[in-house]
Structure 1
Amino acid sequence: MSESAEAPPTRTAVVAAALELFADQGFGATSVEQIAKAAGISRSTFFRQFGGKDDVVFADHEEMLDELRAYLDRTHANPWAAVCEASLLVFRRFAADPELARRRYQVVRQEPPLREREIVTVFRYERLFDEYLRRALPGLDPLAAVSFAAGVAAVHNHVLRRLLRGARTPVSVLRHALDDMMRRFGVLPGTTEDHDADAVVVAVFPRTMPMAEITRRLSDELT
């Protein structure tokens, strides 16, 4: 490549160009050709990168879901905390460019088909968390897994909407909210005391703590 040649636009730049057009002239009135021209790419390149207009709106979510799968495939000392950290990773991603996130939020709110796809996308996060908890905690009551996964998604979405509506919302707001949820669920990390290897283990657990989590903590203490 010569020194004068320009680098192709990033996916984020294409998404930003598309969302700006959607916000200015409407999702239905915006063509793929217009998006490609605004982003400085060809029509075929757009389809190769995104597939369609609705796909460009949710491109960040697709990337985040892939990143979270990779993150949750690692070994984590506390699966409940890992799910919460995954939620924080998503929040940090969108908080890093709040104006882009707000523009997407406005576009989605104006288009019923996009709102329906957003609902499906939220469910995909919940299902990812649910399946991870069941995999990481054998014997976990499925109701506990789905309840926790749905709770994390609901808390995350509530805090994220505050950011998208213009309120100053640091990541600490979400972290505190998730910690409160783990306390109510009885699975906040560090709620049991450390013991010497030769000590007698006397354990007291909250009534709300799932049996699979109790088993995991007892196993950690005894091994």
Structure 2
Amino acid sequence: MPSDDPAQFRLTVVAEALRLFAEKGYEATTVDEIAEAAGISRRTFFRQFRAKEDVVFADHETLLTQAAEYLDADHDDPWKAVCDAAMLVFERFSHWRDVAERRYAVVQGVPALRDREIVTGYRYERLFVEYLRRELPDEADLELVQFAASVTATHNYLLRRMVRDGVRATSGELRAALAEIRTRVHRAAGADGFADEMVVAVFPRGTAPNRVADLLQERLGSGR
């Protein structure tokens, strides 16, 4: 039976479709087979998806919507908001790791899906750029594009290591990497005449790196 949660319902269909694609092959799997495996009708399938290809990237559509909604809220620091939106996407994929791994395996064997994946990745970057342009109209456009591209590339690199290579990338690793990108932005601003600041932090020996990154992000973000 379809879930009452639209996002969960779509994810269920995606998971079943990717399972069938992995077992039978993308071209050999029919819409009817996907619908039957997900416990829905063919009509219900086409209410949610235009074609079989759309199922492969349906969770991306959900996450793009969630990231856009997050950025539409009020944020004191637009640079940080973009990083937090990237964190939101990464953490969702961490929870859906099995789905992400299956999709990666399927996409690599179908050239048309590889092209679609590239376009989908670019849509995150474009979302970030358009948000920064709205929120920071006085900033150099090149700075905004470079920042969005760096955030997206860093996110994709760690996610790809996880789903392709089986390396357990953590939210803390991504948060620390994105904090470094933000630091470079602020250093550049300092070089242009803004107050550049040095931050000195002291932690007990043995503090986990993820905990260090979380505490620094929390304190720097709050301005304390």
| TM-score, structure 2 as length reference | 0.79
Which aligned pairs between 1:90-101 and structure 2 lie closer than 5 A? 90-101=89-100
**8 Å Cα contact 1:71/1:86 also seen in 2:** yes
Structure 1 position 65 matched with structure 2 position 64? yes
Structure 1 position 184 matched with structure 2 position 175? no
2:19 aligned partner: 20
| Per-residue CA distance 1:3-58 (angstroms, 9 max, x = gap) | xxxx4252221111100001111111111011111111111111111111111111
1:37–1:76 Cα change, 3 Å: same
2:132 aligned partner: 133
Q: Which runs of 5+ in 1 are unaligned?
A: 1-6, 192-201, 207-223
Structure with the higher fraction of residues in helix conformation: 2
| Per-residue CA distance 1:195-216 (angstroms, 9 max, x = gap) | xxxxxxx95238xxxxxxxxxx
1:107 aligned partner: 106
Which aligned pairs between 1:1-223 and structure 2 lie closer than 5 A? 7-9=1-3, 10-165=9-164, 166-186=166-186, 204-205=195-196
- Give runs of ≥4 in structure 1 deviating > 6 Å: none
Determine helix, strand or coil for the equivalent of 2:50.
coil
Q: For 1:187 and 1:69, how far apart are their aligned partners in 2?
A: 28
Instruction: Give the counterpart letter for 2:34 in structure 1.
Output: I
1:219 aligned partner: none
Deviation at 1:152, TM superposition (A): 0.5
Q: For 2:128 and 2:11, how far apart are their aligned partners in 1?
A: 26
Q: For 2:133 and 2:196, how far apart are their aligned partners in 1?
A: 20
Identity over aligned pairs, percent: 53
Q: For 1:168 and 1:147, how far apart are their aligned partners in 2?
A: 27
Q: For 1:167 and 1:27, how far apart are their aligned partners in 2?
A: 26
1:80–1:187 Cα change, 3 Å: farther
Q: For 1:12 and 1:132, how far apart are their aligned partners in 2?
A: 27
Deviation at 1:97, TM superposition (A): 2.0
Determine helix, strand or coil for the equivalent of 1:138.
coil
Give the length in aligned residue pairs.
Answer: 188
Instruction: Give the counterpart letter for 1:8 in structure 2.
Output: P
1:203–1:130 Cα change, 3 Å: closer
| TM-score, structure 1 as length reference | 0.80
Q: For 2:135 and 2:174, how far apart are their aligned partners in 1?
A: 24
Q: For 2:2 and 2:176, how far apart are their aligned partners in 1?
A: 40
Instruction: Give the counterpart letter for 2:148 in structure 1.
Output: A
